[in-house]
Structure 1
Amino acid sequence: MSASAPEPLESEVPPLQGVEAVVLVGGKGTRLRPLTLSAPKPMLPTAGVPFLTHLLSRIRAAGITHVVLGTSYKAEVFQEYFGDGTRLGLELEYVVEDVPLDTAGAIRNVADRLREDDVMVFNGDILSGVDLRSVLRTHREAEADVTLHLVKVDDPRRFGCVPTDEDGRVTAFLEKTENPPTDQINAGCYVFRRETLEAIPAGRPVSVERETFPGLLAEGKRLQGYVDASYWLDLGTPAAFVQGSADLVRGVAPSSALPGATGEAIVLDGATVHAEAILAGGATIGAGCVVAAGSTVDGSVLFDGAVVGEGAIVQRTVLGAGARVEAGAVVRDAVIGDGAVVGARCELVGGARVWPGVRLPDGGIRFSPDA
């Protein structure tokens, strides 16, 4: 991750009145290891900047200026990078979660920093193109206690489902099932009335989906759904992380925080890419990286200082800071930890993960997961 400060936004949007934001960034990101051994998931370089930068830029573009970050794992990294938020046109505050409190518990944990009547809450690992102003408008027009962004997915069996009635009112929260009654799922963005948020029990773990939302329904509270088909992706796995970064680079996913123009690749300052190398598929080449002649980097993310040797092929892969893929190696759908080395003519496929500092030997050896 580059240590440089975030660039200021190019345009200013008049602040929305009566609303602020909470972003939950306390998770350990275990599904993304070894990448998250050195940085929290929302701080991983995504299309050239920490992922959280993209989310914060969207929040500011909607006119929300006061944002509270609910942190836990490596909490100091967020404040060191973003500071008070001035350069993004925001006022940022930080609340550290000392013990795991689950989603609703983490939301309740920041309540003493809130000021407005409406609070927009975001999971810090979701990449989305939803119109935030429209979500807020729906919440207010429905006079809802909570409004949930819901997205339609092709295979809802992998998720809990959230059916709504003809007026858009949420009727239930259903666990994963082989025969889901709806294709609508919880998209990880909510608007709470502050009084509803403050009613969440304090000081203990509470789940929004298993306790808070079902409890509100049982009490007869109004939970409104805002359903759309906008871009949406949970970046919780290596494959999704790579896809999300590539979609940002190619302009498929929206962001005003890209450090360059959309296209086949973004190359950060200080990187060296040989004229005979091929960059494609929304690749990101970090600062200080070297991409040698005859190599291909396709739909991949290279953290700062990574090296791709002559004739190597890197596809749908993350190379950690200072990692090396040596001449003639082929790496597909893999995660290469910081400082790790893939030897010349090696082949990595099928979700292989190389842990920081490991060196795989030269010689045409084929590796599968957990090298």
Structure 2
Amino acid sequence: MKALVLTGGRGTRLRPLTHTSAKQLVPVANRPVLFYGLEAIRDAGITEVGIVTGDTGAEVRAAVGDGSRFGFHATYIPQEAPLGLAHCVLIARDFLGDEDFVLYLGDNLLIGGIKDLLTGFQDSGHAARLLLSKVAEPQFYGVAELDRDGAIASLQEKPQVPRSDLAIVGVYAFSPVVHEAVRAIRPSARGELEITDAIQWLIDRGHRVDPHIVSGYWKDTGRLQDILECNRILLEEIETDVRGVVAGYSEIGGRVVVHPDAVIEDSVLRGPVIIGAGTKIVRSYVGPFTSVAESCVIEDAEIEYSIVLGGSTIEGVPRIEYSLIGRDVEVTRAVHLPNAHRLMVGDHSKVQLRI
């Protein structure tokens, strides 16, 4: 069995961060979201992984390399434009051959792995198996409806009146018959070849498509609130490991990870918190559910329930929370009159000021 991992797409809901960076490489608990999926694939025993890339392909290649660090061999498949998930299967035909395969969306975080999804699939003779999760607001997802035998009977894409509460998770198992389906369907109204249309094509022609309900935690990390929630969930699992320099009147409580090359000086860390390599925390408070990446400086500031990416500086700011701060960003206090906020904000940004 092979795997096909999708890392294209434009990440419009995380702009401006994704103007220059792949959304799949946004870190949670100081590791790219994509890495958790690649490790799940490896842990399932898959050693051949095709990675479909888009505009940020060079960055994905640099991060993943030849795949050896994960224990598999990576093959890169460029996609000229985000033309749909089924289009990714179409262009990966030569790589996939006539083997069963897993289709994995690289911006999904799935805790618990995919072994259960794949157990027995190759021996079942069925066309596909979809990972599903019960959700409170199915109208915002692709939704699967089951028949009396427990097979998937139909699919709906973000329906106003959902027929079930089972959302389609971005992980699928397919037999080679899906290649016939992706060749047969036509682009949707938004100009893409939809994987849901391909699956419905299989169902309509009598092929069985099985559901598999997620037993662990799943989240699509396409929005700020989802990224922060994933960060919270993963930080809940860390164990205290403070190996950096802790100096002065510092206080560390709860589950805290401090990289050996990090410095904590006259500061308070309330876990769960993770501090990356080369980062300095000086006269500051870092509160629960915060990840601070490598080479950052937080000085005379307070921050919690946030993610700070590499190379950023936060200085003289009394309180930041529920925030995602990109790479090489400066957030500082204005020290001269007039008493005003000074902003240089890119397209599609969101700024909330406490007035």
Q: TM-score band, normalised by the shorter chain?
A: 0.7 to 0.9
Query: CA, structure 1 residues 27+326, in 2 after alignment: closer, same or farther (shift >3 Å)?
Result: same
Aligned to 1:29: 11
- 1:48/1:268 contact within 8 Å kept: no
**Which of 27, 49, 57 is matched with 2:31 structurally?**
49
How far apart, CA to CA, are the structure 2 residues paired with 1:323 and 1:287? Answer: 13
Q: Sequence identity of aligned pairs in percent?
A: 26
Aligned to 2:292: 302
Task: Determine which of 195, 203, 217 is the counterpart of 1:208.
Answer: 195
Which letter maps to 1:208? I
Residue aligning to 2:132 = 150
Tell me the secondary structure at the aligned position of residue 173 of structure 1. strand
Q: Which residue does the alignment assign to 2:352?
A: 368
Q: Which residue number in structure 2 is paired with residue 218 of structure 1?
A: 204
Q: Provide the rounded CA distance (Å) in 1 between the counterparts of 2:344 and 2:42.
A: 37
Q: Please, what is the CA RMSD of the aligned residues?
A: 2.6
In the alignment, structure 1 residue 273 sits paired with structure 2 residue 264: yes
Give aligned pairs, total: 322
Give the greater-gyration-radius structure (CA).
Answer: 2
Query: 1:287: how far off?
Result: 2.2
Q: 1:291 aligns with which of 281, 284, 287?
A: 281
2:333 equivalent to 1:344: yes
Q: Structure 2: how far apart are the matches of 1:145 and 1:80?
A: 34
Q: Which runs of 5+ in 1 are unaligned?
A: 1-18, 253-262, 347-352, 357-366
Inter-partner Cα distance in structure 2 for 1:235 and 1:39: 14
**Following TM superposition, by how much is the alpha carbon of 1:337 offset from its aligned partner in structure 2, in angstroms?**
3.2
Q: Is the 8 Å Cα contact of residues 292 and 309 (structure 2) preserved in structure 1?
A: yes
- Give SS of 1:240's match: helix
CA distance in 1, matches of 2:255, 2:98: 42
SS of the residue 2:183 aligns to? coil
Q: For the Cα contact (< 8 Å) 1:285–1:301, is it kept in 2?
A: yes
Shift of the 302–35 alpha-carbon distance from structure 1 to 2, 3 Å rule, reads: farther
Match of 2:302 in 1: 313
The offset of 1:121, in angstroms, is: 0.7
* Cα distance in structure 1, aligned partners of 2:56 and 2:231: 22
- The answer to whether the 8 Å contact 2:129/2:174 transfers is yes
Q: Comparing both structures, which one devotes a greater share of its residues to strand?
A: 2
Tell me by how many angstroms 1:120 deviates.
Answer: 0.6
Distance in 2, matches of 1:230 and 1:301, equals 22
Offset from partner CA, 1:117-176 (integer Å, 9 cap, x none): 210110111111345222122533542111101111133232232111243210111243
Amino acid at match of 1:271: A
| Matching of residues 94-113 of structure 1 within 5 Å | 94-113=76-95
For 2:152, what is the secondary structure of its paired residue? coil
Q: What's 2:318 paired with?
A: 329
Alpha-carbon separation, structure 1, partners of 2:27 and 2:116: 29
1:21 to partner: Cα distance = 0.5
Question: Which residue of structure 2 aligns with residue 6 of structure 1?
Answer: none
Deviation at 1:213, TM superposition (A): 1.9
Alpha carbons 2:284, 2:298 under 8 Å: kept: no
Residue 232 of structure 1, CA deviation: 0.6
Q: Distance in 2 between matches of 1:285 and 1:59?
A: 27
Once residues 161 and 63 of structure 1 are traced to their aligned partners in structure 2, the CA distance between those partners, rounded to angstroms, is: 29
TM-score with structure 1 length normalisation? 0.78
Pair 160,354 (structure 1): closer, same or farther in 2 beyond 3 Å:
farther
Residue type of the alignment partner of 1:297 = G
Question: Residue 32 of structure 1: CA displacement?
Answer: 1.5
**Contact 2:7–2:54 (8 Å) recurs in 1:** yes
CA contact (8 A) 1:111 1:198 kept: no
Using the alignment, how far apart are the partners of 1:323 and 1:297 within structure 2? 17
> C-alpha distance in 2, partners of 1:345/1:138?
61
**Tell me, what secondary structure is at the counterpart of 1:174?**
strand
Query: Distance in 2 between the 1:301 and 1:66 partners?
Result: 32
Does the 8 Å contact 2:181/2:198 carry over to 1? no
1:280-307: CA deviation from partner (whole Å, max 9, x where unpaired): 23x3322222212241233123232222
